[in-house]
Amino acid sequence: MEPESTVTTCYRHTKVESHVRCTRCERFICPDCMREAAVGHQCPECVKEGARSVRQARTAFGGRITAVPLVTYVLIGLNVLAYIGELVRPAIVDRFEMLGAGLVGPDGGHYVWQDTYPADFHTEGVVDGEWYRLLTGAFLHLPPTGGTFGILHIVMNMVSLWNIGRVVEAQLGRVRYLALYLLSALGGSVLVLLLAPHQPTLGASGAIFGLGAAYYVMARRLGADMAQVNRFMGGLLLWLVISAALTSWQGHLGGLLSGAAVTLAYAYAPRNGRRALVQAGACAVLLVLLLVGTWTKVAELTGAQ
């Protein structure tokens, strides 16, 4: 009678002799299946199971910690691509800039809104159902020959987005950061619609003012040295005043207020299992308020015809 074989093999590679056991499940594993652990080695399945049970690191505001500001890169890329599109087809600006209510004449020219207008004119802007302008205008900028700033408009905004966006994204995580950016852009456009519906506006400034407000709120919540933060906010508010004469202060203020509201919800939501729900709910409430404000103003403008 032959003695029973004492050769042990890897549970995954049954033809490979193995004498090492996984420290968790105690199955034999070969060198190809060994994963170094704090004590001994583990098999691939136990390593995966352990990774699922490890709590993901989070920022102080509940976002996932990321080393690469991917959303900031993408937003800058979209703004630059939109600018290139403007250079190739200048008509993009008239078609997608933020405009609450305007008129287009029979010659295709754009005219200032009037409560009553000739039958051969037609409306354009948000009042004409072009609600997408509330966001698309935030990705367009003045062309090189456009007004006081020209190409400096996009250069200044993208430099600001690069400097502030990376910091805010690192603290909030990608999803919260993107929601903040879009709601700030939307808030800026809605305030333009409410206060200056016949003024065409464009630029990422509203969203960037929202990021500036977020930077301030987060710094206070984290107990940072406020001297430098206050200097930054002083410059931001100074630009808000200057913009009253040069650009759309309504868009800047709307973005600032929306960004502050969103970040206050992020920063002071209860730190328990409901935090993400509270934060998402606050964003949803702000979105609903902005849409209701838009609908109300559109109804007012169209009712005046």
- Hey, which residues are catalytic here? 205, 252
**For tokens 């074989």, what's the residue?**
5
Round to whole Å and give the CA distance between 259 and 139: 17
Q: Checking DSSP bridges between strand 102-104 and strand 122-124, what pairing results, if any?
A: antiparallel
Q: Are 132 and 126 in contact (CB under 8 A)?
A: no
Q: Are 150 and 141 in contact (CB under 8 A)?
A: no
Around 218, how many Cα atoms within 13 Å sit in the side-chain half-sphere? 24
Kind and range of the H or E element at 195?
A: helix 174-195
Report the length, in residues, of the chain: 305
Q: What are phi and psi of 105, to 5 degrees?
A: -85, 175
**For tokens 């295709």, what's the residue?**
108
Written as six digits, the tokens of 52 are 């699922």
Q: What are phi and psi of 110, to 5 degrees?
A: -100, 135
Q: Which residues of 134-171 are buried (b: 16+ CB within 10 A; e: fewer)?
A: bebbbbbbbbeeeeebeeebbebbbebbeebbebbbbb
Written as six digits, the tokens of 207 are 């969203």
Written as six digits, the tokens of 155 are 């250069």
Three-state DSSP class for residue 24: coil
Dihedral angle over CA of 292, 295, 301, 303, nearest 10: -110
Q: Are 217 and 229 in contact (CB under 8 A)?
A: no
